[in-house]
Amino acid sequence: MQKLNLVQAVNLALKQEMEKNDRVVVLGEDVGVDGGVFRVTDGLIDKFGEKRVIDTPLAESAIAGVSIGMALYGLRPVCEMQFSGFSYLAFHQIESHASRLRGRSGGRFHVPMVVRMPYGGGVRALEHHSESREVYYAHTPGLKMVIPSTPRNARALLVSAIRDPDPVIFFEPKAVYRAFREEVPEEEETLPIGEPQIVRKGKDLTLISYGAMMRPALEAASKLEEEDGVSTEVIDLLTISPLKHETFTESVKKTGRAVVIHEAPRSFGPGAEITARLVEKSFLYLEAPIRRVTGFDIHMPLFQKELDYLPGVARILKAARETLDY
Amino acid sequence: MPIKEIDLNPQIRYLSILDEKGHLDKDLEPEISDDLLLKLHRTMLLSRRFDERLLSLQRQGKIGTFGPIKGQEASQLGAAALLEDGDWLVPSFREMAAEIWRGKALENVLLVYGGYNEGSIIPDEATFLPVAIPVGTQILHAVGIAYALAYEEKDRVAMVFFGDGATSEGDFHEGLNFASVFSAPAVFVCQNNHWAISVPRSRQTRSRTLAQKAVAYDMPGIQVDGNDILAVYAAAKEAVERARKGDGPTLIECVTYRMSVHTTADDPKRYRKEEEVESWEKRDPLTRFQKYLKEKELLSEEKIEGLESEIKDEIKKAVERFNKKAESYKDSLTMFDHLLAELPDYVQEQKEELKRELDEKKQTG
């Protein structure tokens, strides 16, 4: 089986869906001739032409709004925000219309569009290029918010996102873009949206995470096993919204202890929602407070300090051990 | 170095064919069949009377806030008249006449303004979008639809309406720019009714016309007397044909006037003078269209009386249907409908929470 990195895996998903369905179109800044600033859409314009792989003017609201129009008509636009930090110009269109048109039209219209965005830190980028604001989208009813963590699941989730009848915000962890390669089958593969996965089974502690934080989470789980003899269950959310909590609420009923890990700032972050659900559903099983290992309630600093901002294995281990010792 | 003059062809035409006194420029008179003229008149009259009825219903507390269209009937109907099957209409929130022309049911207008989600239903075959409230945002949707129409080689067009206020919004500029770059088959119709709530047109932009903004996007732009249905029709005809042929978008500025309030929550006396409103009453699109049709012997006072009576009855029946439907739409649980293709489990649980709450309320009366 071929080994692909996340960039190549997303490229494969786009290529195959565009081959399968003439109505899938790609649009965004630099996605065509340049193949995308991260090369995620590389080669698509040569295969599918400039009517289907569209280099747009520099206008994020237009990218989103035009995609909405295309989707209302019946195309399947996969648009790109060059960085999640620039998507706020498009947010108005997404919240005010993409998330609402199904309801507003009594089901006559729906908006089957995908908005892809690189998100998150760890690549020594400029200001605005390392944000993790998934909650803005997760907090908007009528959208789906998907965050893959590996090449294989990114490919499978993107295919599902393109086929989804509703708007899907697809955050790609840029720190993982070229971090590693994984076997990705050439044959079509999908993963259902809204289904977290248990990626490591265990019985003493539950780690809940997603995106680029899955690697330090899994590394911490290994260390806990080697060094502490602790058996850790690790859950990859894959979909932030709709948030299906059973995977983690049932896990914590088994382990009694939970640590949530995300890059996004702590307060009002996804960890807060996960904590609330755990308290609602698994309260009597909790042996320790639920811990959140997160970015701080500040903007991501310029890159010299980003590794001190981002949660890493050490920070996760500390919180895990404190939870186990409680 | 000698200075080069770059020729942008910035001339903007102002088109008027049937003026406020009813004088007709025969050379410019567009060819419109008697049947179409009468249909347009009927819809214009129906919209005027329905608009009046809506206002009265709102004052009685039977429906909520809405934006009346009084005075703007020609600027929307004259353009919408060019749309054929498969063409798309993208309204803002002041295009009730154009929507009715394209098949929106009167009772659905009442239901939406009456605050019933259920009234939002748009028929499957209809190619028009729901009312859009955030100003100017619908322009981009029309551009997306237009792009898709061209992509599928449909020779159909997307016509979008917006006001003078919208031309200050970023989405207006992004939309015209995008459509122009890709020669999308879009027709941009600006209803310049001179007021964005209390902010006059002169405060919206220093540009002498709104039509000239088209020049920046290398798009044809034209300004028309928006109360002259013939001029609006003629300009829209050219624009629709241009788009259908694949020659790209056009901006039409219809100079009209918002005869009534911005919405029913507004008091225009606070910011504009009665004399201004009165001066525009003399330029009423309906009276001059009726004069034209009488001269063509397509209408007479008796015929108009007959129509008024027919329309009164039509509206009465629509209000009755609205009342009946409203009575049946008492289930608040329908607020959970049409969020996504499938309601997530935890949202379903929330729906059940509300159900229990409503059931308890019913029991305790």
Find which of B116, B139, B149, B178 to mutate to test the A interface (most A CBs within 10 Å of its CB): B178
> ∠B58-B64-B69 over CA atoms, to 5°?
70
Four-point Cα dihedral A144, A150, A154, A157, nearest 10? -60
Annotated active-site residue B262? The verdict is yes
- The answer to whether the Cβ–Cβ distance between A108 and B142 falls below 8 Å is no
pLDDT tens digits, B60-92: 999 999 999 999 999 999 999 999 999 999 999
Q: Looking at residues A197-208, what average pLDDT do you find?
A: 98
Query: Nearest Cβ partner of B148 from A74, A110, A244?
Result: A74
pLDDT band for position B122 (cuts 50, 70, 90) = confident
- pLDDT tens figures, B173-225: 999 999 999 999 999 999 999 999 999 999 999 999 999 999 999 999 999 99
Does the domain at residues A197-325 carry the CATH identifier 3.40.50.920?
A: yes
The closest of A324, A302, A265 to A128, measured between CA atoms, is: A302
Question: Quick check: B340 and A66 CB within 8 A?
Answer: no
> How many beta-carbon pairs below 8 A join chains A and B?
140
Beta-bridge partner residues of A239: A146
Q: Residue B11: what pLDDT?
A: 86
The β-bridge partners of A208 are A235, A260
Residues 6+ apart with CB under 8 A from B150: B182, B183, B184, B185, B246
Confidence label for A107 from pLDDT (cuts 50, 70 and 90) = very high
The whole-angstrom distance between A45's CA and the closest CA on chain B is: 15
In angstroms, the CA A285 to CA A257 distance is 8
* CA–CA distance, A289 with A272 (Å, rounded to integer): 13
Distance CA A122, CA B97 (A): 55
Residue of A nearest to B160 (CA): A69
- pLDDT tens-digit series, residues A127-153: 999 999 999 999 999 999 999 999 999
Mean pLDDT for all residues in chain B: 96
User: Which residues in chain A are classed under CATH 3.40.50.920?
Assistant: 197-325
Q: H/E element holding A171?
A: strand A168-173
What is the sign of the dihedral through the CA atoms of A28, A29, A33 and A37? Answer: negative
Q: Alpha-carbon distance A200 to B348, whole Å?
A: 30
Task: Show the tokens assigned to B289.
Answer: 């269209």
Distance CA A169, CA A78 (A): 10
Three-state secondary structure of B195-232: EECCEEHHHHCCCCCCCCHHHHCCCCEEEEECCCHHHH
> Phi/psi zone of residue A126: left (φ > 0), alpha (ψ -120 to 50 degrees), beta?
beta
The answer to whether A242 faces chain B, any CB pair under 8 Å, is: yes
pLDDT band at B301 (very low <50, low <70, confident <90, very high): very high
- Per-window interface: A 198-237 vs B, CB < 8 A: none
Cβ pair B340:A92 closer than 8 A: no
User: What is the arithmetic mean of pLDDT over B25-47?
Assistant: 98
Q: Do A103 and B126 touch (CB under 8 A)?
A: no
Determine how β-strand B199-200 pairs with β-strand B195-196.
antiparallel
Average pLDDT over residues A101-108: 94
Between CA B172 and CA B141 the distance in angstroms is 11
Q: Does A21 touch chain B (CB under 8 A)?
A: no
| CB spacing of B346 vs A245 below 8 angstroms | yes
Instruction: Answer whether A258's CB lies under 8 Å from A217's CB.
Output: no
Query: Which amino acid is residue B203, in one-letter code?
Result: R
Q: Calculate the alpha carbon distances from A292 to B10, B23, B146, B237 in Å.
A: 61, 76, 47, 62
Chain B touched by A107 (CB under 8 Å)? yes
Catalytic one of A97, A129, A245, A262: A129
**pLDDT over 90 at B118, yes or no:** no
Question: What's the pLDDT score for residue B168?
Answer: 98
* Amino acid present at B72: Q
Write out pLDDT tens, residues A11-42: 999 999 999 999 999 999 999 999 999 999 99
The pLDDT confidence band at residue B312, using thresholds 50, 70 and 90, is very high
Q: CB-based contacts of B316: which residues, under 8 Å, 6+ apart?
A: none
Cα of A292 vs its chain's centroid, Å: 18
The mean pLDDT of chain A is: 97
Q: Which residues of B touch A96 (CB under 8 A)?
A: 134, 137
* Interface touch B148/A106, C-beta < 8 Å: no
B257 is catalytic: no
Cβ–Cβ of B118/A106 closer than 8 Å?
yes
Residue found under tokens 């970015």:
A295
DSSP 8-class letter at A123: S
Residue closest to B166 by CA, chosen among B144, B143, B130, B199: B199
A113: three-class secondary structure by DSSP: coil
Provide, rounded to the nearest whole percent, the portion of chain A with pLDDT above 70. 100
Sign of CA dihedral A8, A10, A13, A18: negative
Contact state of B174 with A65 under an 8 Å Cβ cutoff: yes
Domain A3-183 top-level CATH class: alpha beta
* Stretch (H or E) spanning A315: helix A313-325
DSSP state of A242: S
* C-alpha A303, offset from chain centre: 22
Indicate the residue of B140, B178, B340 with minimum beta-carbon distance to A93: B140
Catalytic annotation present for B53: no
Is A73–B140 a contact, with Cβ atoms under 8 angstroms apart?
Answer: no
Mean pLDDT of the B14-42 span: 97
Residue of A nearest to B123 (CA): A108
Cβ atoms B109, B130 nearer than 8 A: no
Cα dist. A311→A144, A252, A274 in Å?
Answer: 25, 22, 18
| Nearest-angstrom CA–CA distance, A101 and B130 | 8
Q: Which residues of chain A are in CATH 3.40.50.970 domains?
A: 3-183
Per CB-CB distance under 8 Å, the chain A contacts of B171 are: 61-62, 65, 93
Confidence at residue A226, expressed as pLDDT on a 0 to 100 scale: 98
User: Which of B177, B217, B218, B339 is the best substitution to test chain A (most A C-beta atoms within 10 A)?
Assistant: B339
Asked if the C-beta of A104 comes within 8 angstroms of chain B's C-beta atoms, the answer is yes
